[in-house]
Every structure is written in structure tokens, then in C-alpha cells.
């Protein structure tokens, strides 16, 4: 009986070993693994949650791009445990190489920029294999599909295959599909509903998307009963030059007029020339400037006002 148990255990181990090598697609490039990664780094909150859902924490040596972009809750912190955050936003090559990873899960404009310091090509010489988030592939090839639940399912299944957790990944995806089917059944044939999730602030946020991915945003916040402030105008590099920033500022101005504000104010730095051109074209007037040292640089801060 003992020999039978040992033989059965050996068979299970052999089957696990024969699961590798595995090959997955990463933005059209085949990525082959001879064994499950043991020192993974994961970029961004959503990708980290995908990895946590598969229980990959023992194989993760670091996270990047979390606290610089998000406010995380106690549930995420509990899942993260002692895993360190290596960089609050985009990691540098030095950040990554220092922890000697063998795997990086990130995306274009989610931790990596085309031609930047951290790309699959720059990481490969250091023995780091990069799985690119599928929804981000469209930034390099506009013929690729836009973000969808199917792409999410596919990436979870890829992670499962890479880490030898195909059964767990399959179960997760099946459960998500069942939940989505239940929601769809409750909604019925109503289509085209637009949903914007906004969980903080007093006035209005404005956003714009491309490829089903948020690409630009700006906020209008109350400064006083008569004065509103334009804050945090940002357009992703992949969406610049399309007039999105101009349109967002115009929407903010219209909102402020409709709401009864008399003045719209903003603060920026003189080096942000593209943004300044948008403000000037919209009628903002420069009121004062002040030198300051921020982000490791000597800058000139500017206050602009628009009388409504």
C-alpha cells in the first residue's frame, strides 16, 4: 500500500513537471516559460488584484504603481501583506533589477512607455520576462481589440498557465462569467448605458476615454461660493494631439458658468507649455508667478484666472 501511495505521488509530481514549458501570447509575441516564475513584480492595482485572486503572493517580490495612483483599502493591504512597493508610479530599471525578478506583469502606459527605460526589450537582458496587459496592446497597434471583459479573462488565464494555476484561473473566470450573466439577465435588453464611478470631491470630474481605457481627466473643485478651481488636467501621451484637453477645459468652463461661479482659477508650471496654450486659448489670464523647487527641479509656478 505504501508503495502504491508513493507511486501515485510520483505520478502527480511528474504530471506537474510535464505542465511546462508553457507558451502564452504577449501583445503578439510568444512568451515561453520552462517553470513558474519565483520572483514576480506586478504593476498597478488591477493587475495586482488579478495576481492576488490566484494566490500568487508567495511568488511576488514587489509591486509598483500603487500608492502613486490609488488610495488602497484595508482589503488590498491585507492581501498585499509584507510585499513591498518598489515604486509608487512608474518603476525605473534600477527599481526592478534590484530585487532580481524573473517576471514583470505590466502594460503600455501601465508601468511601461514605448521607447522608455522599462520595456520587455530592456528587461530581457536581465533575465526578466514581461507579460504585457492585453488591453494595453492597442496603444501600439490600433488594430488590436479595445478593453473588454474577454481580455481580462484571457489575462487571468495566462497568469494561471504561467504559474501552474490553470484550474484556479479557470474557476475564477467561470465565476466571473456567471456573475456577469446574472447581471445581464437582470438588465435585460437595455444597452448603451454609460456609467461613471466617482467616489470623492464636491463638484465635478470630467474624463475622456480611448480604446475603452480612460485617457484624460480634469477636476473642478469649489474654492469658495464664487470661485472654482480647475485641477489636475492630464492627458495620456497616447491621446495627446487630439484636442481632448481643450474639450475637457471647455466642459469645465461651461459647468462653472451653469453652476453660478464667477471666477475659475488654476495653478500650473511654466514648463507645461501645451497646457498653458489650452488655458490661454480658453481666455485665462496670467495673474502672478512664483519660483519654487519641486519634483527635484527649479520651476516657476503660475496662477491663471478666467472671469466667467
Backbone angles phi, psi at 89, to 5 degrees: -125, -115
DSSP secondary structure letters along 79-129: HHTTPPEEESSSPPHHHHHTT--SEEEEEETBEE-TTSSSSHHHHGGGT-E
- Rounded Cα gap, residues 292 and 119, in angstroms: 33
Confidence (pLDDT) at 1: 47
**Cα torsion at 156, 161, 166, 171 (round to 10°)?**
10
Q: Counting Cβ atoms within 10 Å, is residue 95 exposed (0-12), middle (13-18) or buried (19+)?
A: middle
Cα 200 from chain centroid (whole Å): 19
Is there a contact between 27 and 119 (Cβ–Cβ < 8 Å)?
Answer: no
Helix axes 149-162, 166-187, angle to 10 degrees: 170
Task: Give pTM, 2 decimals.
Answer: 0.66
Residue 16 pLDDT exceeds 50: no
Confidence (pLDDT) at 191: 66
Residue 29 pLDDT exceeds 90: yes
- Rounded Cα gap, residues 285 and 266, in angstroms: 10
* Confidence grade of residue 13 (pLDDT, cut at 50, 70, 90): very low
Is there a contact between 91 and 118 (Cβ–Cβ < 8 Å)?
Answer: yes
Is there a contact between 104 and 43 (Cβ–Cβ < 8 Å)?
Answer: yes
Confidence (pLDDT) at 203: 60
Backbone angles phi, psi at 255, to 5 degrees: -60, -45
pLDDT per residue over 253-294, tens digit each? 988 998 889 999 999 999 999 899 999 999 999 999 999 888
Backbone angles phi, psi at 27, to 5 degrees: 55, 40
Question: What DSSP designation does 221 have?
Answer: E
Q: Among candidates 49, 22, 53, which has minimal Cα distance to 37?
A: 22
Q: Is the dihedral of CA 113, 116, 122, 127 positive or negative?
A: negative
Confidence (pLDDT) at 253: 92
Q: Is the dihedral of CA 23, 24, 27, 28 positive or negative?
A: positive
How many CA atoms, within 13 angstroms, populate the side-chain half-sphere of residue 234? 9
Give strand pairing partners of 218: 206
Is there a contact between 234 and 218 (Cβ–Cβ < 8 Å)?
Answer: yes
Confidence (pLDDT) at 281: 93
Confidence (pLDDT) at 196: 56
pLDDT per residue over 58-82, tens digit each? 999 999 999 988 888 899 999 999 9
pLDDT per residue over 141-192, tens digit each? 888 888 889 999 999 999 999 999 999 999 999 999 999 898 888 877 766 6
Confidence (pLDDT) at 126: 97
Segment holding 222, helix H or strand E: strand 213-222
Residue 238 pLDDT exceeds 90: no
- Rounded Cα gap, residues 182 and 100, in angstroms: 43
Amino acid at each position: 500500500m505504501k508503495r502504491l501511495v508513493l507511486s501515485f505521488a510520483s505520478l502527480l509530481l511528474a504530471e506537474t513537471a510535464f505542465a511546462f514549458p508553457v507558451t502564452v501570447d504577449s501583445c503578439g509575441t510568444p512568451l515561453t516559460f520552462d517553470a513558474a516564475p519565483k520572483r514576480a513584480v506586478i504593476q498597478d492595482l488591477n493587475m495586482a488584484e488579478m495576481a492576488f485572486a490566484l494566490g500568487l503572493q508567495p511568488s511576488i517580490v514587489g509591486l509598483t504603481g500603487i500608492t502613486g495612483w490609488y488610495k488602497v483599502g484595508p482589503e488590498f493591504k491585507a492581501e498585499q501583506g509584507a510585499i513591498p512597493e518598489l515604486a509608487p508610479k512608474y518603476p525605473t530599471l534600477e527599481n526592478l533589477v534590484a530585487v532580481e525578478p524573473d517576471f514583470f506583469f505590466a502594460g503600455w502606459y501601465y508601468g511601461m512607455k514605448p521607447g522608455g527605460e522599462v520595456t520587455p526589450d530592456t528587461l530581457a537582458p536581465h533575465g526578466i520576462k514581461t507579460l504585457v496587459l492585453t488591453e494595453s496592446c492597442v496603444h501600439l497597434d490600433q488594430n488590436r481589440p479595445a478593453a473588454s471583459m474577454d481580455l481580462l479573462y484571457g489575462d487571468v488565464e495566462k497568469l494561471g498557465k504561467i504559474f501552474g494555476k490553470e484550474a484556479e484561473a479557470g474557476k475564477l473566470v467561470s465565476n466571473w462569467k456567471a456573475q456577469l450573466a446574472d447581471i445581464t439577465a437582470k438588465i435585460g435588453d437595455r444597452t448603451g448605458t454609460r456609467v461613471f464611478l466617482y467616489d470623492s470631491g464636491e463638484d465635478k470630474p470630467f474624463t475622456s476615454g480611448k480604446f475603452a481605457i480612460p485617457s484624460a481627466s480634469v477636476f473642478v473643485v469649489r474654492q469658495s461660493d464664487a470661485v472654482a478651481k480647475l485641477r489636475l488636467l492630464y492627458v495620456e501621451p497616447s491621446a495627446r494631439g487630439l484636442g481632448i484637453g481643450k474639450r475637457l477645459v471647455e466642459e469645465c468652463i461651461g459647468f462653472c458658468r451653469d453652476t453660478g461661479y464667477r471666477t475659475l482659477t488654476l495653478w500650473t508650471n511654466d514648463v507645461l507649455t501645451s497646457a498653458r496654450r489650452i488655458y490661454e486659448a480658453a481666455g485665462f489670464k496670467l495673474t502672478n508667478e512664483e519660483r519654487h523647487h519641486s519634483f527635484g527641479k527649479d520651476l516657476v509656478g503660475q496662477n491663471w484666472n478666467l472671469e466667467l
